[in-house]
Amino acid sequence: MGKSIALFGTSADPPTIGHKKILEELSRIYAFTISYVSNNPNKKHIEDISIRSHLLKTLIEDLDNPKILFNQSVSSQWAIDSIKKCKEIYEFNNLDFVIGSDLIKDIFYWKNFDKIILEVNFFIILREGYPIESKTLKMLENYKVKFKISTIKIPDTSSSQFRLNFNCSNLPTALIDIVKKNNLYESTKLVE
């Protein structure tokens, strides 16, 4: 395939309206967006990966967009493994790895960073309160990292914010009942 593909892995603990907006916007830019849930080795996850992946899959099914694919089989806590699995399954080379600006400075310490930067371009989504610092930009240039900074505007919300304030308005509508019925994320505290 010669088309650009976005690979959007997320810990999605839980998926929020921010994740939904990112997926919708990526589908306007890319031929396909492949999404999955992973365990971030630098985060403590509240719900198990099976629950989080079910929530993301439900969100993607609700979007009903043939350009957005959920594929949990590419999931790994290591980006390099997810990238390689994705390339094997879909047989393409033109891959953009989607990452939030809150995590971009961490990539230099990722397992196999030197291999990752040969395999993908980074598509950086700016998050409120996480500007890309000039020293990070300089490091990206020094390491010859191929990257684009997105102009996508996403809601100022995050999974961790949701877990702090339990506000249903931060959850995609398709997930609210699942979260409540299964008492996920201490949903007895949820506010409408």
Give pLDDT, residue 188: 60
Domains of the chain: 5-156 (3.40.50.620)
Q: Spell 163-188 as b/e; 16+ CB within 10 A means b.
A: beebeeebbbebbeebbeeeebbebe
Please give the Cα distance from 142 to 19 (Å, whole number): 30
Give pLDDT, residue 1: 37
Give pLDDT, residue 187: 66
Give pLDDT, residue 166: 74
Give pLDDT, residue 68: 98
Please answer whether residues 126 and 35 qualify as being in contact, where contact means their C-beta atoms are separated by less than 8 angstroms: no
Please answer whether residues 166 and 185 qualify as being in contact, where contact means their C-beta atoms are separated by less than 8 angstroms: yes
The one-digit pLDDT tens for each residue of the chain (192 residues) are 346 899 999 999 999 999 999 999 999 999 999 999 999 888 889 999 999 999 999 999 999 999 999 999 999 999 999 999 999 999 887 899 999 999 999 999 999 999 999 999 999 999 999 999 999 999 999 999 999 999 999 998 889 888 888 778 899 999 999 998 988 987 666 666
Amino acid at 114: D
Please give the Cα distance from 169 to 166 (Å, whole number): 9
Residue reference for tokens 């610092």: 133
Give pLDDT, residue 86: 95
Please give the Cα distance from 76 to 145 (Å, whole number): 22
The token pair that represents 76 in the structure block: 């790994």
Please give the Cα distance from 52 to 39 (Å, whole number): 10
Compute the C-alpha angle 133/147/86, nearest 5°. 125
HSE value, Cβ hemisphere, 13 Å, CA-based, for 178: 17
